[in-house]
Structure 1
Amino acid sequence: MAISLTLFPHKFLPKVRLNLVLALFGLLVGGIILTYTYQRDVEKETTYFIWKQAKLQSISKNVPRPLKDVLLTEPKPKPGRTIFFLETSRTVRPKPEMINNMLQLTARQACAIESAALHNPNFEVFVLFAGPTYRYHENSSQHQQPIIDAILSYKNVQLRQLNLRRYVTGTPIEDWVKYGELFSSRFPIHHVSDLLRLITLYRYGGIYLDMDVVLLRSMEDVPLNYAGVESFTHVANGVLSMAPTGFGHKFAESCLLDFQQQFDGDAWGHNGPGVITRVAQRICGTANISLLLEDRTRCQGFNVFNHTAFYAVSYRNWRHFFQPQYLQQTLARTKDSYLVHVWNQISKLFHIKVGSRTAYGMYAEKNCPRAYAAAGKYL
C-alpha cells in the first residue's frame, strides 16, 4: 500500500482508474468490432461458398450424363429372372453431338416397359440402349420427361446402355462381328437388333420382348425356353425366352452360330424370325411348323406357342388395335393372350387420342396406367 501511494499519489488514483476503465472498455469494444468484422467476413465467405457449390451443382445437373454400361454397373441382370427390351436406333453411326443422343422413349415404348414391370414384380426389367445415350439429372431444369419418370417409378426397372463390340466379347460370334460384315447390311439397325437379343439371352437368359408390346398378364410362372409362331411358316423373334444354363444356353448358342453362318444383309427377316425358325426346326426334327405346336415333346424342352399367345392379331390387321369399330372383336381375340404385339414398324405413325375407345387404348389404360397418364393427348 505504501508502494502504491508512492507510485500513485492519492490525488492521481481516480484518474488512473478512469484511464484503466477507458482502456478496458476500448479493448472490449475493439474486440466486439473485430469479432463482428470477422464473423461478417466468415459469413460472406460461407455464403459465397454455398452459392458457388449450388451453382456448380446446378451446372452439373444441367449437363447430360451417359447411361451406365450394363456390363460394368450394379445391379446386373439376374440370370433367368430378367425381362429385356432393346432400343437400337442409334447403334449404327450415332451422331457425335451429345444433344442428339439424349434418352427418348415414345409413349408406346414406355407402355411396353411399364406393363412388363407391373405384371412381373419379381423380375428385373432392363431396357438396353445400344450406343451412347445421355439423360439429364432428375432435378435438372432441362428435365421434362414425364414418360421416363413414369417407368422409373417402378423399382424393378433399370435403364442401361451397351457398347456392341464390348457386349459381343466372349460370345461365339465375337470375331465375326468385329470383322464387320454385320454393318454392310441394308437394314443395319434391324439386324443389329436381331443379333443383340440373341447375345443378351446367351449372356443372361430370361425373356426378350419387342418394345411394341403390351403385357396383359404375368409371365413369371411360364417355364423358360419358348417362342411363338406368327404364321404357319415362321417362329417369330419378338418374344423369346431362353434359360441361362443347360438347354436354353445351348439353344442361344445355336442361334448365334446360325445368325453368323446364314447371315444375309439384303433380307429383312432372314436373320430374325428366320434364325429362330431354322434352329427350332433342326432341334425339333421337322420343317413342319404345325408339328411344333401339336407335339410338345419333340423339341427337347423348347416350347413353341401358337399365335394366340403373342400374335393373336396379325400384322395385316394392325389397324384393329387402333380403330374403334374393331374394339370388341380385338378384345375377344386377345382374351387368352399373354401380350399383344402392335406391329410398330407399320403402326408407329398412326396415333390415337388418349381416352378413345380402341383396343390399344383399353390395353394401355389398364396395363400401363402411369405411362398412359403421362402420354399427354395422344398415344
Structure 2
Amino acid sequence: MDEPSLVLCSIESAARVYPDRPVVFFMNGLDDIVNEDDEKKARERFPTLSSYKNIYFLPLRLKTVFADTPFLSWYEKIDQTREIYWTHNKADACRLALIWKYGGIYMDTDVISIRPIPEDNFLAAEDAKYTNNVAFGLSPYHTLSWEFMENFVQNYSGSVWGHQGPRLFTRVVNKYCGVPKFTSMDHLKCANVSYFHPQRFYPILSSSWGKYFQVWKDLPTFNNSYGLHLWNYKNKERKFMMVGSNTLVEHLYQQYCPSTYSSILKTVTSHH
C-alpha cells in the first residue's frame, strides 16, 4: 500500500489538470468500498492527495473487471504461476476492460499530466513505428476497445514482453492504417480516432529515459505534450526524485504535483 512518489505525483497531476473529472486509481490491497466511510478510509491512506476531492481509490477485482468481456474465459484458464510477465499482462488487460466498460482516459502511473488532452477518443504513437498503451482514451463500449480485447486473447503470448501492450496496439493500428506517417504535430485519423504525435506523451524517448533524472542547463518546455511518460520499467537502478537535486524530474514535481513534492520536502527536512 506504500505507493512510490511517482505514482502519487501521477495521480495528483491528473487531478490538477482535470479538476472537473473523477480521477480513479485502481489498486490491489484495498478493501471493498461500499459506503462513504470506506471511501474516507481509503483516502486517509494517501494524505498528500486528500485535498483533491476528485480522486477516488478503488480495489482492483479482476473477475469483476473482466466480467462480460473476452478476458474472463482467458483469465479463468490461465496458469499464473507459469507467467513470467503476469503483472504486465494483467495490467494490459485491466486497462482495456475498464475503458471498454466505463470509457475515459487511461494513463499509467508513471505519466505526469501537464495539460488537458483535447480529444476523447485517441491513441498515441510512441515513435515513428510503434503505438503505445501507456495513455489512450476511448468512449464506453467503443468498437476499438472490443477489438483490442479480442486480439489480445486470440494472439495471447504471455512470454513476449509487450505483446499484449504496445505490440497489440501497434498490430491493430497497422491493420487499419499501415504505419501512420506524421508530417507535423497535428493528429492523424486512424480507425476513426485521433492518432497523436509521439511528442504528446513521449517527448523523451525510452532510450533516453535517464534524462528525466539529469540536471538540464535549459529546462525543456514540453509545449507540445499533454503528459510525460517517465519509462519506469526502464528504471532498473530505481532512480527517484531527490529534493535539491535540481534534476528535470524535481522541477516537474514542483510544478505539477506540488503536494507530493512538499510532503517529500518535509520528510527530508525532518530527517536532518
* TM-score band, normalised by shorter chain: 0.7 to 0.9
Q: Pairwise mapping of residues 169-318 of structure 1 onto structure 2 (< 5 A)?
A: 169-180=67-78, 184-219=82-117, 222-245=118-141, 249-284=142-177, 286=178, 288-290=179-181, 299-318=190-209
Summarize deviations over 1:36-79 as a string: whole Å, max 9, x none: xxxxxxxxxxxxxxxxxxxxxxxxxxxxxxxxxxxxxxxxxxxx
Cα distance in structure 2, aligned partners of 1:116 and 1:341? 13
Equivalent AA in structure 2 for residue 264 of structure 1: S
Q: CA deviation at 1:124?
A: 0.4
Cα distance in structure 1, aligned partners of 2:183 and 2:164? 20
1:338 aligned residue: 226
2:63 aligned residue: 165
Q: Identify the structure with the greater helix proportion.
A: 1
Residue aligned with 2:262, SS: helix
Q: Cα gap change, 1:156/1:259 in structure 2, threshold over 3 Å: closer, same or farther? A: same
1:150 aligned residue: 48
Q: Determine if contact 1:292/1:299 at 8 Å carries over to the other structure.
A: no
Q: Determine if contact 2:189/2:195 at 8 Å carries over to the other structure.
A: no
Q: CA deviation at 1:242?
A: 0.6
Q: CA deviation at 1:151?
A: 1.3
Among 13, 16, 33, the alignment partner of 1:118 is 16
Summarize deviations over 1:268-287 as a string: whole Å, max 9, x none: 01110011111122233x2x
Unaligned runs of 5+ in 2: 33-40
Equivalent AA in structure 2 for residue 164 of structure 1: L
Cα distance in structure 2, aligned partners of 1:358 and 1:296? 31
Residue aligned with 2:6, SS: helix
- State yes or no: 1:365 paired with 2:254: yes
Q: Cα gap change, 1:165/1:147 in structure 2, threshold over 3 Å: closer, same or farther? A: closer
Q: Determine if contact 1:320/1:327 at 8 Å carries over to the other structure.
A: no
Q: Determine if contact 1:105/1:147 at 8 Å carries over to the other structure.
A: no
State the TM-score, normalizing by the size of structure 2: 0.86
Equivalent AA in structure 1 for residue 148 of structure 2: C
Q: How many residues align?
A: 257
Q: Determine if contact 1:113/1:125 at 8 Å carries over to the other structure.
A: yes
Could you list the runs of 4 or more consecutive aligned residues of structure 1 that deviate by over 3 angstroms after TM superposition?
181-184, 291-298
Equivalent AA in structure 2 for residue 317 of structure 1: S
Q: CA deviation at 1:207?
A: 0.4
Q: Pairwise mapping of residues 86-101 of structure 1 onto structure 2 (< 5 A)?
A: none
Cα distance in structure 2, aligned partners of 1:335 and 1:289? 23
Q: CA deviation at 1:223?
A: 1.9
State the TM-score, normalizing by the size of structure 1: 0.63
Percent identity between matched residues is: 26
